[in-house]
Amino acid sequence: HRGVGLRNCKPFVRSLSTPSSFLNKLGRLAGAPVDLHPEVEDALAHSNPVVALETAIVTHGLPFPASLQVPLGLEEVVRSAGAIPATIGMISGRIKVGLEKTELERLAQGERKPAKISRRDIAAASALKADGGTTCSATLIFAAYAGIKVFATGGLGGVHRGAENSLDISADLHELTRCPVGLVSSGVKSILDIKRTLEYLETLGVPVISYGESREFPAFFSRHSGHSVPWNVEDPMTAAKLLYTQEQLKMRNGALFAVPIPEEYEPIGKEVQNYVNQAVEESERNGISKSGNDATPWLLSRVAELSAGKSLKCNIALIRNTALVGGQIAVNYQKLLA
């Protein structure tokens, strides 16, 4: 409204339906290749709980059609907890915070050979108008960018076995030092070196909290890793308070909440973990373990093969559980802000 007198021209009075007006309100650069889904934008603008979900699992973690059914199911789980899901991914170079079903289908089917997008890949993939699934690191970045406080996933990246030679340490770990987001997962990916990953997180100063009954850090497919962490929370409100305290202290880092796989999956999870160990040994022999970015997808598909689909079943169960806990933490976080 150019005709309106200057004193009426307060910033940010534009209608919230304007694309990305919420991001402008946050002071983010106008014109950045980021689109908020209208439902996510509305939730954020009204301080309703939102949970971020990643898409590397869609493009590089799960076979089709699970790659479509699982993320759609996770969105429903988040809703059942009373929060709005924001599944994050890249479509034609634009970061979508909240994907339309057709966009999710496009990523899940791998039509345009989606890239696996970690922090280092974001700008190149965007400039080249690629499709891509965002790993935990890139998803953390865009969750933080949009002001989303909770992100639920299956397994975080970490220190690979043999990293003392390969130096393969996921960028996910450093990202947790830069993004004030609570990441809820079933621990780290099954193929990793848990002990070294926990040491690395300690060095980085990232809080690691077991969620549930004990201080034992879960081992993805199993509730037991033999490693304990310094803190444990038993309910979503305490988890939310921890995140809120970091916010009050203006700490810019995130936190890792490790939620064990549901008890009833423990027996088959243990069996699957044996196949994981076998796949890791194979990858060391055939050289794939040295190929960096490709190691994870190869290992996960090999484990699916060896376990005749049992790994997929467990993976789905544990990630649905983290989505539920993530939703509950997000709901409680907003209560603290109210």
154 binds ligand PSU (CB under 6 A): yes
Per CB under 6 A, which of residues 286..305 are in contact with ligand PSU? 293, 296, 300
Write down the catalytic residue from 41, 54, 103, 175.
54
Cβ–Cβ under 8 Å, residues 276 and 193: no
Residue range at the interface with ligand PSU (CB under 6 A); choices 32-40, 95-103, 152-160, 301-309? 152-160
Please report whether residue 180 would count as binding ligand PSU according to CB under 6 A. Answer: no
Out of 36, 43, 57, 312, the residue judged to bind ligand PSU by CB under 6 A: 57
Phi, psi for 314 (deg, rounded to 5) = -65, -45
- Catalytic status, residue 189: yes
Contact between 170 and ligand PSU per CB under 6 A: yes
Is residue 234 annotated as a catalytic residue, yes or no?
A: no
Annotated catalytic residue within 96, 116, 149, 189: 189
Under a CB-based contact definition with an 8 Å cutoff, are residues 117 and 132 in contact? yes
- Which residue, judged by CB position, is nearest to Mn ion in the bound state? 168
Taking CB under 6 A as the criterion, the residue among 72, 163, 171, 251 binding ligand PSU is 171
- Nearer residue to Mn ion within complex by CB, 197 or 315: 197
Rounded distance between C-alpha atoms, residue 84 and residue 48, angstroms: 8
149 and 333 in contact (C-beta within 8 Å)? yes
Distance CA 209, CA 35 (A): 32
Q: Which of 91, 136, 159, 258 binds ligand PSU (CB under 6 A)?
A: 136
Helix axis angle, 310-337 to 236-248, nearest 10°? 60
- Does 131 help bind ligand PSU (rule: CB under 6 A)? no
Per CB under 6 A, does 236 bind ligand PSU? no
One-letter amino acid identity for 217? F
Residues with a known catalytic role: 54, 189
Binding residues for ligand PSU (CB under 6 A) = 54, 56-57, 60-61, 118, 135-136, 154-155, 157, 170-172, 189, 293, 296, 300, 315
